[in-house]
A and B are shown apart, each in its own frame.
Chain A
């Protein structure tokens, strides 16, 4: 192409020095003028177009965390001591020791805005991106989960966004062969125009296999492998290309990223074989900011320097300009640092998996990231200035003007219902509490055959008996066709010894609670995910979070963010579970109206023997139904207030973390001793909904008796509570265990029959519960 008549020379460092006053489109790239001045000060000249491309994406909110950094630091400074934590925040994903030499790596990340623009591809590439984060830690991805938020269920745009998002998640995840083991679907008018698509992935590796994003060792080669680079998701690069070269039409850009799960599957197996062959020194996935991010971050964490020849990047569209190559967000790409002697072996493995790979550069000890294009130097920067030393803002924040009034408008003024049977059915059939089968039936929940629990269980649970080794292909001589199908048919799959060990995962987050009190709301999100893991019998170990908020430039939103991070960090310390990583998504707002602050928290736990797991709900007749934890009159932000009165006001339920910890201790110990036949956490909709869902789990009814005010007992959303089903002969031992840990324990009744009977209040046949519960979503989206 270099001989093409229409091809212009790129803006080189030499040219930048000669034309110091040439105006650069920094504002169009979202950069503030003081930030641009800082770039000039760092370089001692104006940046070239390519350098501006790098700084503008690396210093964007998304990549630099410039508004959130000062608050996120608490997750490290307040982190509880944890022997389980092997890799903490700052890497592609955190890694946790789960015993027997195994480690788990997990992370949740947002793909909100792309999922609004193009729901199917936006959600699909969200899954692809988080899976690559997990791969880059040296792990085999073993499951995904998705926490989703949409506008009102009956809104016209929700009917466009939700089916597309679910289809995108299912098509990408199912094609990759990864089970989707849980998550959430929540509707609220505040998410109309700003849906939240938070994707979580968990991976498994041996403790000694951890890989890091670093480029040490001068002389080592930099390899770009995976899909070729096209004009995907290039936000501002077109501005750069056209601002300097006005005759080149860039009207067609930017473009929506499209995912290719089959390429990603090849990448997974290819990476695992590369790791097994020990030919990778450092590795990084390419996500937002693509080559810019990978090169600057790898170089900054390594020896400090790197040279890259951008002409060597394999292109899908040969007309791409260097600025565009640097900013392209083409999917399914990885970058590795490889010793020169290992290059032939590395390339042979890539060839075997049909994964294109190219050496594009070399590690140096110059402290500079130098890139060339057509033989000219177009980038020459200290990589750390782009990767680590971006701007950090102490954004002003203050309590929202209406916060006090919001908190004063308690649900006490709401009329409480006379007919509690009708209230239960109304809640059970409301979009937020209705069965999510319509969604989860589109996901493969059992592929890889290690899923022990999946939706609608409180947490997803996986058995650890995994193929970590790549699904090897017969050694590929050049003569035999290296097609995936041929090779996979002849593959000998080496199974690791099955273990009894398992991991459990849950995500939770309640935007209404966080709106009323972001400090408590974030703690309640953590508490619920922690509880959801504990009710299955797994011991909660570590946390990942996805913090979804409005604009950080709005001091009221920033206050929500500051409060939520402070609350979450404090709660992590109290519960003894460290934050291992996560993601911040700002600017989720339309005009000046922000979404409810929505911290979504994921908790990972470990269980020694998955056979000791506690299933969700009532599994047999004749079990004692026991409520753990105290119930207070707490309806602020409740599902009842939302459904019955469209009301949001007052304060959320109290977050009593000591009680939460005691409850989890009891649940985990009781599961270990085999005292629990079934369990279910209490959350949205309170005891009534937990009882109904427990009956629905296996179609077993129950008869219970309440002692206090029936409405409060049934529908209050007090935290730190769980419902358990205990065999009569185990009850005494269980009650004494609760007593020892000061966990309040109330016998409510017995399981059995084919109806949920609340004595002197109502009786609902299980069939009627089921019809109400399952009909809602198909009626809206079916």
Chain B
């Protein structure tokens, strides 16, 4: 059994109102020195067999189809160490 992590982030040029709201809130809570925040999603996909190339390809397909909206989001697939 292996765990595959899929990180989904808005593409860099896409406006991220939630990230901006967090960035604006931080100074109000006393955190300084933050110039920008972007918010994304992390999926932990447990697979039954080993995390070989075939399994990763399948997870990428999942990301492409369901986990990420590829019109506005990028995704990154990796095996948890």
CB within 8 Å of B: which A254-297 residues:
255-260, 262-263
In the complex, chain A residues whose CB is within 8 Å of the CB of B72 = 118, 121, 255-256, 258
CB within 8 Å of A: which B1-37 residues:
10-17, 20-21, 24, 28
Q: Report Cα–Cα, A257/B15, bound state, in Å.
A: 7
In the complex, chain A residues whose CB is within 8 Å of the CB of B69 = 118
Inter-subunit contact B28/A232 (CB<8 Å): no
Inter-subunit contact A330/B15 (CB<8 Å): yes
A171 to chain B, nearest CB (A): 11
In the complex, chain B residues whose CB is within 8 Å of the CB of A263 = 17
Q: Report Cα–Cα, A255/B13, bound state, in Å.
A: 7
Q: Does B81 contact A (CB under 8 A)?
A: no
Q: Report Cα–Cα, A255/B16, bound state, in Å.
A: 12
Among the listed B15, B24, B28, which residue makes an inter-chain contact with A258, where contact means beta carbons less than 8 Å apart? B15
Q: Report Cα–Cα, A231/B14, bound state, in Å.
A: 8
Q: Report Cα–Cα, A260/B19, bound state, in Å.
A: 11
Inter-subunit contact A256/B28 (CB<8 Å): no
Q: Does A83 contact B (CB under 8 A)?
A: no
Q: Does B71 contact A (CB under 8 A)?
A: yes
Q: Does A426 contact B (CB under 8 A)?
A: no
In the complex, chain B residues whose CB is within 8 Å of the CB of A441 = none
Nearest CB in chain A to that of B71: its residue: A118
A258-B21 CB under 8 A given contacts A118-B71, A118-B72? no
B41 to chain A, nearest CB (A): 15
A232-B12 CB under 8 A given contacts A118-B72, A262-B21, A481-B28? no
Task: Classify chain B: how many residues form its interface, as a range.
Answer: 10 to 19
In the complex, chain A residues whose CB is within 8 Å of the CB of B10 = 258
Majority-rule SS of B interface residues: loop
Inter-subunit contact A230/B15 (CB<8 Å): yes
Among the listed B12, B17, B28, which residue makes an inter-chain contact with A262, where contact means beta carbons less than 8 Å apart? B17
B17 to chain A, nearest CB (A): 4
A255-B11 CB under 8 A given contacts A117-B71, A118-B72? yes
A-B interface contact total, Cβ < 8 Å: 43
Q: Report Cα–Cα, A591/B14, bound state, in Å.
A: 30
Among the listed B11, B16, B24, which residue makes an inter-chain contact with A252, where contact means beta carbons less than 8 Å apart? B11
Q: Report Cα–Cα, A118/B68, bound state, in Å.
A: 13
In the complex, chain A residues whose CB is within 8 Å of the CB of B12 = 252
Inter-subunit contact B13/A260 (CB<8 Å): no
In the complex, chain B residues whose CB is within 8 Å of the CB of A262 = 17, 21
Inter-subunit contact B21/A256 (CB<8 Å): no
Q: Does A415 contact B (CB under 8 A)?
A: no
A253-B21 CB under 8 A given contacts A117-B71, A118-B72, A121-B72? no
B69 to chain A, nearest CB (A): 8
Q: Report Cα–Cα, A331/B15, bound state, in Å.
A: 10
Residue-by-residue, is A116-136 near B (CB-CB < 8 Å gives 1, otherwise 0)?
A: 011001000000000000000
Q: Does A100 contact B (CB under 8 A)?
A: no
Nearest CB in chain A to that of B10: its residue: A258
Q: Report Cα–Cα, A230/B14, bound state, in Å.
A: 8
Q: Report Cα–Cα, A256/B17, bound state, in Å.
A: 14
Residue-by-residue, is B55-74 near A (CB-CB < 8 Å gives 1, otherwise 0)?
A: 00000000000000101100
Among the listed A117, A230, A259, A331, which residue makes an inter-chain contact with B13, where contact means beta carbons less than 8 Å apart? A230
A227 to chain B, nearest CB (A): 8
Q: Report Cα–Cα, A739/B4, bound state, in Å.
A: 77
Q: Does A483 contact B (CB under 8 A)?
A: yes
Q: Report Cα–Cα, A620/B78, bound state, in Å.
A: 64
Give chain B's interface residues, CB within 8 Å of chain A.
Answer: 10-17, 20-21, 24, 28, 69, 71-72
Give chain A's interface residues, CB within 8 Å of chain B.
Answer: 117-118, 121, 227, 230-232, 252-253, 255-260, 262-263, 316-317, 330-331, 354, 481, 483
Q: List 17 A-B contacts (CB under 8 A).
A: A117-B71, A118-B71, A118-B72, A227-B15, A231-B13, A232-B13, A252-B11, A253-B13, A256-B14, A256-B71, A256-B72, A257-B15, A258-B10, A258-B14, A259-B17, A260-B17, A260-B20
The 8 closest A-B pairs by CB, nearest first: A260-B17, A258-B15, A255-B13, A231-B13, A118-B71, A256-B72, A252-B13, A255-B14
